[in-house]
Structure formats: C-alpha cells, structure tokens
A and B are shown apart, each in its own frame.
Chain A
Amino acid sequence: MTEQIDAGMVARRIAESDRLGSPDPGREIGRARRRKEDARLITGRTLWTDDIQLPGMLYVAFLRSPMAHARITRVDTSAARNQPGVAAVYTGRDFAAEQGSLPCAWPVTEDIVIPDHPPMAVEEVRYVGEAVACVVATDRYKAADALEAIEVDYEPLEPVLDMTEALAEGSPKVHEAGNRSFTWKFSGGDVEAAFRDAPVVIERTYVQQRLIPTAMEPRAVVATTDGTAFTLYSSTQIPHVLRVMLALTTGIPEHLLRVVAPDVGGGFGSKLQVTAEEVLCLLLTRRLGKPVKWTESRSEGNLTVHHGRDQLQRITLAAERDGRIRGMRADLLADMGAYLMLVTPGIPILGAFMYNGIYKMDAYDFTCTGVFTTKMPTDAYRGAGRPEATFAIERAVDELAHELGMDPVEVRRRNWITHQEFPYTTIAGLTYDSGNYEAATDRALALFGYDKLRAEQADRRDRRDPVQLGIGVSTYTEMCGLAPSRVLGSLSYGAGGWEHATVRLLPTGKVEVVTGTSPHGQGHETAWSQIAADAMGVPFEDVAVLHGDTTVAPKGMDTYGSRSLVIGGVAVLQACEKVKDRARKLAAHMLEASPDDIEFSGGTFSVRGTSAGKTIQELALAAFAAHDLPEGFEPRLDADVTFDPQNFSFPHGTHLCAVEVDTETGMTKIRSYVAVDDVGNVVNPLIVEGQVHGGIAQGIGQALFEEAVYDSEGNLLTTTMTDYLIPSAADLPEFVTDRTETPATSNALGVKGVGEAGTIAATPAVVNAVVDALRPYGVRDVRMPCSPERIWRAISESGGAAAGWAGPTEAEGGER
C-alpha cells in the first residue's frame, strides 16, 4: 500500500505548487487562477434556461410515444384542450406543413440514407420517447395534467433492436429505404500483406455499450417573439450553429433570430444538437405569439437526449512474435438509432483515424456501417468516436501482450512513436505534431509504483487470494481541436472548424474579449482573460469575456471536440496582437517615433532606448478622443480574428489503474488511478486538472457503471438516475494526476485540447485492469459496464472458478 500513499502525496504536492502560483511570475498564462465564473455559481445567482421567466409565458409539455415502432392511427386532443389552464394542444399533423426535418450536417458518404426526421411524429413513431403531441398551458403542472387526457391509438410495428439482425435479409425495416444508412471505408498501407503469414493474429469483438450523457442540467428551451424577431434561449453548447440550423429548418430568417445559451449546466456532447424541442418551441411561439418554455424531466431526458457510443467493433491485429504490430483491421457496426441527427453518422468516423493510436504499423483498414434501429438516435458524447477507437486498440494491445507473454507496457514501448520521430505521419494519414510518450509513461509508472503492484499481484495470484489485483494501462492520443475546415470539408462535414474572436480596448483601458466559443463549465471567462491579460499587458481583472449570445458574440463555431482553447483561445491571442499593432502605430505617432522603434512590454509602448512611453490605457483614451491620430487611422483599438487551424491537436498521456476484484462476488474496487497527461502548454493548471478529473470519472463510468438498456420490445429500462448509474463520490477514488509538457507546434500558444482526454484514456485503463485481474481464470474479456454480475459470470463461464486455476502464463510471471 505504501506506494499509493507516496504517489498520492507527490501528486498533492505537485498540485499544491501549481495552486500556489505561476512558474513564471508576472505572467498570467500558466497560473492557477481561481475562476471568475465561480462568483455567481457558488451563490445561486446563475441564469439557467429554466430560470427565465417572461411576462405571459406558457409552459410546454410533450406527449411521447410508449411504443418503439408503431403507426399512429388516431390522436384525440379534445379532452385535453378543455382542461383548465390549457392554451393549446397540437399533434404532429398540426405541424406537418411547417416543421421541416431535423438536420443532419454530416452526410459521410455520397449514397448515405438520411431519412426524413419530423420534430414531431406525424404518421409513424420509431423510438420510445418520440414526441407525438404537445400541450401548452399556464403552468408546468397543468401542462402535465392535460397530457394525460390526450388519447393516441397506435398500430404496433416490429421493433428493430439488434444491429446484426437489422442488416439481415428479411429484417423489419425502421425506414422504407432499409436499415443500412451507409458504409464508410478507409485504408492505408497494404493490409493483405501485413496479415499474410503474420506470426500472431489477435481477433476480438468489443461492445461499446449505449450511454446516456447525463449533463446535470436537464435541457430547457425558452422561445419568444415580438411579432417580427425571435429569441431562443436554450441549454445548448452551440448557439451559433443552432442559429444557422434553426433558420434553415424553420424558415425564420437568420437575421431575425437570436440564440442565447445562458448558463449551461454541462453538455459532454449531448447539447451539441438541434433538437425537436428547440424547433417546436420556436414554432409554438410563432403560432401563439406568447413566450413558451419547455424543461425536460430527467426521465424524459434519459429517453430523448441523444445517446452516445453503441458500436460493435471487430478488431484484428497482426503482429510479429517480438510484439511489433504489422497491421490492423477495424470493422464496425454503429447504431445510429432511429434517425440521423446533427452529426450522428460522423461520430464513428471521427474514430477512424485513431484506431492505430500511438503506434507505428504498416497497414490499417477501417470499415464502418451505420445501422438504423428503433432506439433514440446516437450522437456526440465526450470523446465521440475517439474513445471507441482508443478502447479497441488499447484492449487489443493488452491481448497481444498476453498472447506473447510480454508486459503490456513493454509491448507498447516496442510499437509507439518515439519522441525523436515527431512530427510523425501515421498510417491513418494524420501528422502528429509533437509528443513524448516515453516521458509521460515513465512518470506515470513511477507515480503508480508499477513494479511493486506487479509484485503484489504475483503474490495474490500465488496465494489464490479471492481478491485479485489487476493492473491496467492505457497510452492514448487523440485528434481534437475540431478542426481544420479543409479537413472537415474533405470528410463531407457541413461546416468549417474556424473560431472567431473580437478584442476591444475600451476608453478606460479595460478589455472586452468576445469569443465564439460557448463554455458550459470549461472556464473560458477565466482562461481567455489570462490569455488577453498577458497579450495586452493589462491586469487579469481588467478583462471581461463575452460569449453565448448571437447578438453579443455574432460569430462562432461553439464548444465541442476539445476545440475551444486550441482554436478559440488562439483566435483571442491573435486578435490581441492585431489590437496591439494598431496601438503601436498610435504610440509611434504620439511619441514621434517610427513604429519599428516601438517596443511593447508590461502594457507600455516605449521608444527603444529611451524612457518615453505610452501605456495601453493612455492609448485607449487617445484613440477614443481621436483628437490627434496618425493620417488615415480609424479611431478604434479593436480587432476581429477568424482563425482556422492547420492541423488537429494531439494531446496524449499514460493512465494506469489498479483494481481489486473480489472473485467471489464480482465486486470491483479501484484501488489507485494515476494519469499523466501531456496537453502541451497549460494556460490554467487548475482548469486542466479539473477537466482531467471529470474526464476520468466519465471514462470509469463507461467501464464500470453505465449502460442504457432497452428491453426486447424496445422500451428503455434505464429512464431514471436510479437505473442509469453515473458515479457518485463514493464510487471513485482520489485520482493522482501529473503532466508532462510537450508544446504543440501547430499553434501560437503551444496548447493541446484537454476536454476529452480523460474520458478517452480511462475506459480502457479500467477494463484492462479488470481483465488483468481475471487472467488466471482464463478470462480475456468482460463486457462493459463491468458490473459485479458480468464479472462473476465471466469467471463462471470461463470455467475458471469451478475448474480451478488457469494460472498466470510463464512469461507473465517472468516479467516481474
């Protein structure tokens, strides 16, 4: 046990020193600034969408299908219409002429099937929870009451629940066009050759279970109109994308539509969506001329917030006996659910370039088929495609290690890109700009006490201890910072990946930063202030960051895919530089010097070699007064930048997990967890650490606790937080975190994304640990979530528990 305590203390010391201040005094970047956002969040002075109360506002409630697949034969709303407080009751037919189809912005292949997706079902329902009618009433309770008075008759149709069966001949169809949406292929190198006569071939099938993102704030929408223009408040990650998409879907002209994301209580991809409820609330306010509000209950949300993952992965790895990987095949079925939502088909494709992970190999082949089922559509969930890819390769590499009797870390070392080899173009065609897998791994092994834990594991195995110790490693990278627009274009995505920033120097010398990113917990107000304070030479407190309202911040691509800092933050920096260029000209004029002789330091422009200077505050006032400006100089010190990155961002790291598995009960306890991440330069170590913590928790959630379960009729069984288990404080250990810093070479800040890294890394680390604990029983996989029941069954089914001990392999024993 000692090494865990040591590791914990080391990490705490590291964290403490981070917390005490910047490694570089006087600079804001790198400093563990406490967040500006907190003041309102810890005092209850937030504005969540559900907090918004407008005069005359009406409440909307949706009646949802109890059937997975059925034809709607009759809807009778008359009784509901006559209930007290009810202003209106509508069915899908009432919207049919104007509701359009919810958009899918990512047609991944030319021949993709994109079915019509009415926001409210008109003729047929295709998943439990699909809206079939709505009530608009004077309060939430009355709206809910009236729902019960609506009568709907359904003619049941066959549900389609299993992807493999859905593709089989004769399967009932979700849509007329069939159950296959697309097949997308990609390959690099000569895969046939890599597999021909390969000494070792590992073939495995992994199930990425369906997940419910579960942001703590349920979705909510408020829509209002003055008769001409419309405002939509929504608990969304994407106010800008939403504005464009809603304009296209509803026909409300874009310039008459304002979208506001007020305080947003987490997203994790689930609020990267154009939802039926957003469209319908706009249509309702247009129709009724009154503000309307809809807030989902958690049970409604579990049914109808888009789900995540749900893929079946067939992975084949060809390798040499010395552990060198020759090539890899990934063959996927991806459950789209009943419809394609905003980026549904693109999610598995985002993983396509990541199955090779951090490893060198000669050939790689990827195929993904998108399949329709009668379930809630899937879409982005933290990591989006990349956790699935990382899980597959990291699990498969562990299997390879086991097959060869090698230590799993050693197999990784033999295959990974070494730090001298960057920039490195992978077999999947991406160019990783920088990284140091050796350094992160060595640091993680030391913090973890790897050798001691392996010794303890051997001892427990020898003693046949009913509580076995498992050690899991995951050495991940990911492509994030979505994304270079030209790459998105080449992947048939409907938009670009740039980000916008405006920086305004106000007359009193204060700074306003307007950003197109849309934070919902990430702390952009703090981090962007740090960037701007350094660049402009003003105090941190003198910067305000504006966001999340298309009137205030009219341009942007919003927040997802760990893109905000590496694109949006860089845009802020560049806008500051542009403002300073203008300020420099003004300073030169006022100081009667050439701009080339002007230096900038600590917020003051001065003439090189003299003491003459002007502070940025003096220049701000001078520009405002505009009495004495250089010839042709517009009286303003502000600038706009739209930054489009040249490459993705490639954070990486090594995560190690030790679990104790009680082989008699199947109970798993995470004993220690170490994460050493390399996210390049760090703007705010507190925020980075927080992102890593939260990411790990979600990755552990997938590994051990979470699954959206549908029964054989297509009913979701996990509609409440009692059934869909997200980890509580009591389920998780203290995480030991540290960093190595290999600056990104692809952006001016040297930063890499961090929002998804923890989630991507953690799931395979945990499952590798669980399987490692059970190796002596002959277990080579446990389906996620690795619940006590699944673990217990895995042991029983492998025959291990009954027939006795398979025993560690010779080489596994020999490695330590």
Chain B
Amino acid sequence: MPRITVTVDGIVYEEEVEPRLLLVHLLRDRLGKTGTPVGCDTGNCGACTVMLDGRSAKSCSVLAVQADGSDVVTIEGLARNGRLHPMQEAFHAEHALQCGYCTPGMIMAAVDLLKDDPDPSDEAIRRGLEGNLCRCTGYCNIVRAVRRGAQEMSGEGVRTS
C-alpha cells in the first residue's frame, strides 16, 4: 500500500492508504476530521470542499495518494489562535446557514473565491459558488455573508465597526 505524508490542519500525518481511498474518507474515517461532510458521489455538491495547498478542492474528487506531500486545511483548521475566520463570523452574522451541512464547504469555497476577487459583486459571488449546493437557505444570506466576509477581510469592516 502506498505511504503518504499529508499535513492536515497543521498536523503531519503519515498513512498507508489504498490507492483508491478518497481524500475525504482519509480525513473522515482515518484521521477523525469529520468536520468535512460528504453530500454526493458525483462531485456536484461541494459539501466536502477543503483547501489543498491553498486552493479549494472537492475532497471527494481527490484521491488520498494525490494529496501526498500536500497541505490540507479543513473547516476545523480555519480558526486561528481561538479566533474565528472572518468568513465564519460573517456566516454567523448574516444567518447564512440553517442545517449547516453545506456550510463547511461553502465557507471554504467562499474564502477561495476571495483570493481571486477580493471584492466580488453579488453576481460574481453567485457564479463563484455555483459548485456548492445548499438546500436550506436559498443563498440570499450566503451572498450577504460572503460580501460581509470580503469587507471584513479587506479591513473595511474593522474600520467601520
């Protein structure tokens, strides 16, 4: 069995894995990182989105062996030094979640979206999150949250609050 080294939320793991093992199952079943859920089996829903070497990736569509040598950040590793990430705060403030099942992936995708477009229009947010499905919120508050998160991250929110 291939041996891989992968860093997840700041911890280095060395694991022997079957070549077919999906990254999301490595995270959930082997490493106990159950903060990242699974919503589909066709790469459509985005619930499993994590950061893989700094960019968002659907962890159900990546094999664990492909993540060898990579740095993975999940929703569990997004808060730093006991402080929530501004995007987590924004989702809470804007009531951008109900059941919360899509939320880990949605937050990771939103953080990634801002890397390319730090001040996205509502339309850009909607397009950018097309690969992350939510059945509860109707997306209005998610769009608001991403807008707020973007403001906070650009420092605007810090000035006005």
Residues of A bordering B, CB below 8 Å: 34-35, 37-39, 41-48, 50-51, 53, 139-141, 214-218, 263-266, 268, 297-299, 520-523, 686-687, 689-691, 693-698, 720-722, 726, 728-730, 732, 734-735, 758
Instruction: Return the contact of B95 from the options A50, A297, A686 (Cβ within 8 A).
Output: A686
Q: Is the CB of A214 within 8 A of B135?
A: yes
Q: Is the CB of B99 within 8 A of A266?
A: yes
Q: Is the CB of A265 within 8 A of B140?
A: no
Residues of B bordering A, CB below 8 Å: 18, 20-21, 25, 28-29, 32-42, 44-45, 47, 74-76, 78-79, 84, 88, 91-93, 95, 97-104, 107, 122, 125-127, 129-143
Q: Is the CB of A729 within 8 A of B99?
A: no
Query: A42-B88, A721-B133, A730-B130 are contacts. A694–B98 as well, Cβ < 8 Å?
Result: yes
Please name the residue on chain A nearest to B101 by beta carbon: A265
Please name the residue on chain B nearest to A35 by beta carbon: B95
Q: Is the CB of B25 within 8 A of A216?
A: no
Q: Is the CB of B101 within 8 A of A34?
A: no
Please name the residue on chain B nearest to A266 by beta carbon: B99
Alpha-carbon gap, A694 to B79, bound state (A): 28
Please name the residue on chain A nearest to B9 by beta carbon: A44
Q: Is the CB of A41 within 8 A of B122?
A: no
Between A and B, 9 residue pairs with Cβ closer than 8 Å are A41-B100, A44-B74, A46-B35, A48-B37, A215-B101, A216-B47, A690-B98, A729-B142, A735-B138
Instruction: Return the contact of B99 from the options A44, A45, A216, A693 (Cβ within 8 A).
Output: A216
Alpha-carbon gap, A285 to B109, bound state (A): 39
Tell me which residues across on chain B come within 8 A of A720, comparing CB atoms.
40-42, 44
CB distance from B53 to the nearest CB of A (A): 20
Tell me which residues across on chain A come within 8 A of B125, comparing CB atoms.
729
Alpha-carbon gap, A45 to B35, bound state (A): 6
Instruction: Return the contact of B141 from the options A266, A690, A722 (Cβ within 8 A).
Output: A690
CB distance from B132 to the nearest CB of A (A): 8
The total of interchain contacts (Cβ-Cβ below 8 angstroms) comes to: 180
Q: Knowing that A298-B41, A726-B135, A728-B131 touch, tell me 15 more A-B residue pairs with CB under 8 angstroms.
A: A38-B97, A41-B97, A42-B97, A43-B78, A43-B79, A48-B37, A141-B18, A216-B102, A216-B133, A218-B39, A265-B37, A690-B137, A720-B41, A729-B125, A729-B132
Query: A214-B135, A722-B42, A729-B129 are contacts. A523–B98 as well, Cβ < 8 Å?
Result: yes
- Chain B interface mostly: loop
CB distance from B40 to the nearest CB of A (A): 4
Query: A298-B39, A693-B140 are contacts. A139–B98 as well, Cβ < 8 Å?
Result: no
Alpha-carbon gap, A729 to B109, bound state (A): 13
- Chain A interface mostly: loop
Alpha-carbon gap, A53 to B34, bound state (A): 10
CB distance from A19 to the nearest CB of B (A): 9
Alpha-carbon gap, A39 to B97, bound state (A): 11
Alpha-carbon gap, A802 to B133, bound state (A): 39
Alpha-carbon gap, A231 to B2, bound state (A): 38
Tell me which residues across on chain B come within 8 A of A726, comparing CB atoms.
133, 135
The 7 A-B pairs at the shortest CB distance, nearest first, are namely A44-B35, A265-B101, A41-B100, A521-B99, A693-B138, A697-B138, A721-B44
Tell me which residues across on chain B come within 8 A of A38, comparing CB atoms.
91-92, 97, 100
Q: Is the CB of B127 within 8 A of A34?
A: no
Please name the residue on chain B nearest to A295 by beta carbon: B38
Tell me which residues across on chain A come within 8 A of B38, comparing CB atoms.
50, 218
Tell me which residues across on chain A come within 8 A of B141, comparing CB atoms.
689-690, 693
Tell me which residues across on chain A come within 8 A of B100, comparing CB atoms.
37-38, 41-42, 46, 263, 265, 521
CB distance from A610 to the nearest CB of B (A): 44
Alpha-carbon gap, A217 to B136, bound state (A): 11
CB distance from A148 to the nearest CB of B (A): 14
Alpha-carbon gap, A361 to B121, bound state (A): 49
Q: Is the CB of A694 within 8 A of B92?
A: no
Q: Is the CB of A43 within 8 A of B41?
A: no
Please name the residue on chain B nearest to A302 by beta carbon: B40
Alpha-carbon gap, A266 to B138, bound state (A): 13
Tell me which residues across on chain B come within 8 A of A216, comparing CB atoms.
39, 45, 47, 99, 101-102, 133-136
